[in-house]
Amino acid sequence: MRITDYLNKECIKIPLSKTTKKGIIEELLELILSVHPEIDKEKAFHCLIEREKIETTAIGDYVAIPHARIKNLAKIYLAFGLSENGINCHSIDGECVKLFFLILFPEEEINAQLKFLARISRLLKDKNLRTKLFKCKDHEKVIDAFKQYEEHHFQ
Amino acid sequence: MKLVIIFLNQIEYLDDLLAAFLEIGVPGATVLDSVGMWHVISHDIPIFAGLRDAFAGSSPTNKTILIVTQEDQIDQIDEVLQDITGYLDETGIAKMVSLQIDKLFGFKF
């Protein structure tokens, strides 16, 4: 499973314009919906907010991975956004979040969700990759950064 | 000699199980408190917290029982485990493996 298989340019936004966690979740969800209008926005947004209530998805190191499991979703959808100034998301290390990855999972595919979350959270533990992402000015650089990293570390 | 490892998820069977092992002459056992990976993942690693409901049926703790025993006692241990827990009829109750031991040190039988 490669993150680059799920990243596409329409679902990458640099910089993010919203300045709250909820706002950014909505902003990233809109990116996915612009490509996949068949997704029920209300339902997806509700599931994402409900997931945040269980425990924060701001996992530290300036990274947040808001995500949700949604019934009858065709596949996994991913959106990425960079907040240049960072947003206070009550992350586990107390740092502001700059890198946001919003993911929608089909509810029935628990194994795929586990693998995807494990892969992306492990990738983002790497300081070099995070530093590269902080400096990205457009979607191509983001996709390139992930591509290079995954090719190097996950043959 | 063999090492039997039993992963007992339904820990309410533990007392009966150990008593039955004594009856069939199991020479001794070590019982460890343990936690399954799914429970740790969904409860201790924040990014996986959304999967708690998916693993709601898994027990928060389990017991790992280690038994060093003669090869001819393996089937008896399995029978006792089946009689008491019915572990082969239903998933999530217990699992058992046996491993060949190369050398033993400090054991007296």
Interchain contact B52–A (C-beta under 8 A): yes
**Percentage of the residues of chain A whose pLDDT score is greater than 70:** 99
Q: What is the pLDDT of residue A155?
A: 62
Indicate the burial class of B55 (C-beta count within 10 angstroms; 0-12, 13-18, 19 or more): middle
Residue B51 distance to chain A (closest CA, Å): 8
Using a CB-CB cut-off of 8 Å, the residues of chain A touching B54 are 110
Distance CA B71, CA B73 (A): 5
**A31, pLDDT greater than 70:** yes
Interchain contact A56–B (C-beta under 8 A): yes
B50 vs A67: CB contact, 8 Å cut-off?
yes
Residue A39's domain is classified under what CATH number? 3.40.930.10
Q: What is the pLDDT of residue A152?
A: 80
Residue A57 distance to chain B (closest CA, Å): 6
Q: What is the pLDDT of residue B97?
A: 98
Query: Domain coordinates of chain B in residue numbers?
Result: 2-34+61-100
**A61, pLDDT greater than 70:** yes
Active-site residue (options: A36, A46, A67, A153): A67
What is the number of structural domains in chain A? 1
B47 vs A54: CB contact, 8 Å cut-off?
no
> How many C-beta atoms lie closer than 10 Å to residue A2's C-beta?
13
* Cα–Cα nearest to A114, from B42, B73, B56, B24: B42
Tokens of A75: 């596949």
pLDDT tens track for A71-112: 999 999 999 999 999 999 999 999 999 999 999 999 999 999
What is the rounded average pLDDT for all residues in chain A? 94
Interchain contact B104–A (C-beta under 8 A): no
**Percentage of the residues of chain A whose pLDDT score is greater than 90:** 88
The rounded average pLDDT for each run of 10 residues, N- to C-terminus, in chain B (109 residues) is 96 96 93 93 90 78 96 96 96 95 89
pLDDT tens track for A102-138: 999 999 999 999 999 999 998 999 999 999 999 999 9
Mutation target for B interface from A55, A63, A121: give the one with most B CBs within 10 A.
A55
Q: What is the pLDDT of residue A62?
A: 96
* Cα–Cα nearest to B10, from B67, B60, B54, B77: B60
Least CB–CB distance from A121: residue in B47, B52, B54: B47
Using a CB-CB cut-off of 8 Å, the residues of chain A touching B57 are none
Q: What is the pLDDT of residue B98?
A: 97
**A47, pLDDT greater than 80:** yes
Domain containing A20 equals 3-153
Q: Is the ipTM of this complex over 0.85?
A: no
What dotted CATH number matches B2-34+61-100? 3.30.70.120
Interchain contact A112–B (C-beta under 8 A): no
* Cα–Cα nearest to B29, from B6, B13, B47: B6
Nearest residue of B to residue A66, measured between CA atoms: B47
Q: What is the pLDDT of residue B109?
A: 73
Using a CB-CB cut-off of 8 Å, the residues of chain A touching B40 are none
Question: Residues of B numbered 18-47 whose beta carbons fall under 8 angstroms of chain A's beta carbons: which are they?
Answer: 41, 46-47
B41 vs A114: CB contact, 8 Å cut-off?
yes
**Residue A36 annotated to the active site:** no
